[in-house]
Structure 1
Amino acid sequence: MALIILGHPQLNKSIANKAIIEEIQKNDSDIEVRNLAELYPDFNIDAKEEQKALLRHEIVIFQYPLYWYNMPAILKHWFDVVFEHQFAYGSKGDKLNGKKLLTSVTVGSIEKEYKPFGKHNFRIAEFFKNIEQTAYFAQMTFLDPMFFHGTSAVDGFTEDEIKERARLYANGLLSYVEELV
Structure 2
Amino acid sequence: MALMILAHPYFDVSVANKTIIQELQKQDLDLEIRDIHHLYPDYQIDVAAEQEALLRHDTIILQYPMFWFSMPAILKYWFDSVFTYQFAYGSKGDKLKNKKLLPSLTVGQVEGNFYDGEHFLIDDFLRSIQKSAEYAQMEYLKPICLFGVSPVEGNTKEEVQTKAAKHSQKLAEIIRGL
TM range (shorter): over 0.9
Rounded Cα–Cα distance in structure 2 between residues aligned with 1:129 and 1:91: 24
Unaligned 5+ segments in structure 1 are none
Counterpart in the other structure of 1:51 = 51
Tell me how far apart the structure 2 counterparts of residues 106 and 15 of structure 1 sit (CA, whole Å).
10
**Cα deviations by residue, 1:119-144 (Å, 9 ceiling, x for unpaired):** xx962221111111001100000001
Please list the CA deviations of residues 16-64 of structure 1 after superposition, one character each: whole Å capped at 9, or x if unmatched: 0010011111113420000011100100000000000000000000000
1:154 aligned residue (149, 152, 155): 152
Identity over aligned pairs, percent: 49
Using structure 1 for the length normalisation, give the TM-score. 0.95
Distance in 2 between the 1:58 and 1:17 partners?
23
Q: 1:84 to 1:52 in 2, by over 3 A?
A: same
Aligned residue among 122, 126, 129 for 2:127? 129
Counterpart amino acid of residue 144 in structure 2: M
> Aligned letter for 1:39?
L
8 Å contact kept, 2:100–2:140: yes
Alignment partner of 1:143 out of 103, 127, 141:
141
Separation in 2, partners of 1:57, 1:122? 30
Report the equivalent of 1:87. 87
**Contact preservation (8 Å) 2:88, 2:95:** yes
Q: Which amino acid aligns with 1:98?
A: N
Equivalent pairs, count: 178
Q: Indicate the residue corresponding to 2:17 in structure 1.
A: 17
CA shift for structure 1 position 74: 0.4
> Partners in 2 of 1:100 and 1:124 — Cα distance?
19
Match of 1:179 in 2: 177
Gaps of 5+ in 2: none
Q: Label 1:13 to 1:82 Cα distance change in 2 as closer, same or farther (>3 A).
A: same
Counterpart CA distance in 1 for 2:83 and 2:14 is: 27
Q: Which letter does structure 2 place at the counterpart of 1:144?
A: K
Deviations 1:93-135 (A, max 9, x none): 00000000000010000000111179xx962221111111001
Task: Provide the rounded CA distance (Å) in 1 between the counterparts of 2:177 and 2:138.
Answer: 18
Q: Distance in 2 between matches of 1:73 and 1:81?
A: 12
Give the alignment's TM-score, normalised by structure 2: 0.96
Superposed CA RMSD in Å reads: 1.4
**What is the distance in 1 between the residues matched to 2:89 and 2:124?**
24
Secondary structure of 1:178's match?
helix
